[in-house]
Structure 1
Amino acid sequence: MKTAVITGTSRRLGAYLAEQLTQAGYRVIGLTRQQNPAQPFSQIELDYQRSDSVLEAAAQLKQQLGQLDLLVHNASLFEKDQQHQQDPAAFYQALFAVHMQLPALLNQQLLPLLQASGAGNIVHITDIYADNPNPAFALYCSTKAGLENLMKSAAKAYAPLVRVNSIQPGPIQFLPEHSSEEKQQVMQQTLIATEAGFEPILKGVRFLVDNPFVTGLSLKIDGGRALGK
């Protein structure tokens, strides 16, 4: 049985990926800030902001697993800079912790398990904003760009036993707080003007896992929004 570790599995994309991979026969372990007993996969609770908590979770995984086939860095914090004008430094540190420190530590700590698989894969879920930043989310975009660069460095360092790639999502599924005007503006900038849901990202993960000659790739799954109209 193949094993996958996914961060940020409490809701939305992370929960969807974990549930779908579980149904596909994977043993899935979710790393989450808050466990959900209703979810059909194992979970380890940790504090993304504390390096000691991340290292403790990695130690638990190394005790439980003999090998690891897939590591997906999905955990994310997506908020506008203006929401944190009172303490932008603390906000930036939080973004750095979840988007860069967490993946970097897990990559380093779990590398022996990925190598033991013989065909280990790491997938970084970044953002099309990593290449074309949105000024309203400047701090978010900069740390997602760091996650993108971390992917490229890891692809070089871990080849050939472990392949490392990224997926750059576009407007796959709006948040509840998105207004009708915001949704319309996004769709007007997207070549395939559809709210596609999470399935295209799952298909992207499967492509990266199934193709043994792909590493260091940034895969845009965005309906063409990165190109605009």
Structure 2
Amino acid sequence: MLYKEETPKETVLITGAGQRVGLHCAQRLVADGYQVVITCRRLRPEWEVNPLKGIEVMLADFSSEQGINAFIRVLQERAHSLRAIIHNASTWIDDDLVDGPAFQRLCMVHMQAPYMINMACASLFSADTVADIIHITDHDALNGADDHIAYLATKAGLENLTRSFAMRLAPSIKVNSIAPALIMFNDGDSEEQQAKLLARSALGLEPGPEVVYQAVKYVMNNSYITGTCVDLNGGGTLKFA
């Protein structure tokens, strides 16, 4: 009996995907037939009871140059042939708590890690197939806001990296960003806070992480899009027009 050789699965790397939107996208990519590698800072206890299926977990700390370089070395040693990198790793520090070291951590996670990984790992993409780098930024980083200034400034830096890398890596690798507004409420958000967030968009809903995955697949499936931001704002720009 002749057996058909199984086609190797394409690999997608998602940084900072241990929970919420990142983990949802990782699980949806697995369901769509991809091999998925995620990074997180620590293993979650629930994974011992319910192991992640089809997902390889790599521990990584992107808050220092040493941690970024250590991750890059391990990734290159494992020689994954990548279909896509999704830079989802993020950190949140309230402006009242932002000092010099805290601002540096924001810069490291949101800008320096994606920059260094993109520069070092472009060679890991297959030359025979389409490839993508996707930066997850923030809708408010597109225009600024009077709160969370340090966080949004570094996310805006990631938006700029999108255009620069799109020019540098074309035509072999497409580079785009996805800029979400409200996707999921945080645990502990009061009804007042939820109502305030909902009022910022024309659609007035908490869409859930699937809309981010839909944007990811749109970018990956479209062969004629690079250097572009997919702004997931639920009509927020209409509210403030």
- The bucket for the TM-score relative to the shorter chain is over 0.9
Q: Distance in 1 between matches of 2:155 and 2:37?
A: 23
Query: 2:102 is matched by which residue type in structure 1?
Result: F
Identity %: 31
Query: 1:7 is matched by which residue type in structure 2?
Result: T
Q: TM-score, normalization: structure 2? A: 0.89
Q: Deviations over 1:82-131 (max 9, x none)?
A: 2x0xx511210111011001111111111001253531100000011111
Q: Distance in 1 between matches of 2:110 and 2:190?
A: 26
Question: 1:16-165 maps to which residues of 2 (within 5 A)?
Answer: 16-36=24-44, 37=47, 38-40=51-53, 41-82=55-96, 84=97, 88-114=99-125, 116=127, 118-165=129-176
Compared with structure 1, are the counterparts of its residues 226 and 9 closer, same or farther at alpha carbon in structure 2 (3 Å cutoff)?
A: same
* Contact 1:122/1:165 (8 A) holds in 2: yes
* Contact 1:35/1:44 (8 A) holds in 2: no
Query: 1:4 is matched by which residue type in structure 2?
Result: V
User: Partner of 1:220 in structure 2?
Assistant: 231
Name the SS of the counterpart of 1:71 in structure 2.
strand
Q: TM-score, normalization: structure 1? A: 0.94
Query: 1:27 is matched by which residue type in structure 2?
Result: Q
* Contact 1:48/1:54 (8 A) holds in 2: yes
Larger radius of gyration: 2
Q: Deviations over 1:106-157 (max 9, x none)?
A: 1111100125353110000001111122221000010000000011100000
Q: Deviations over 1:53-89 (max 9, x none)?
A: 222222222222352101000011123212x0xx511
* Contact 1:67/1:116 (8 A) holds in 2: no
Q: Distance in 2 between matches of 1:159 and 1:146?
A: 20
Query: 2:91 is matched by which residue type in structure 1?
Result: L
* Contact 2:14/2:86 (8 A) holds in 1: yes
Instruction: Give structure 2 stretches of 5+ with no counterpart.
Output: 1-8
**May I ask how many residue pairs the two structures share in their alignment?**
226
Q: Which runs of 4 or more aligned residues in structure 1 lie more than 6 Å from their structure 2 counterparts after TM superposition?
A: none
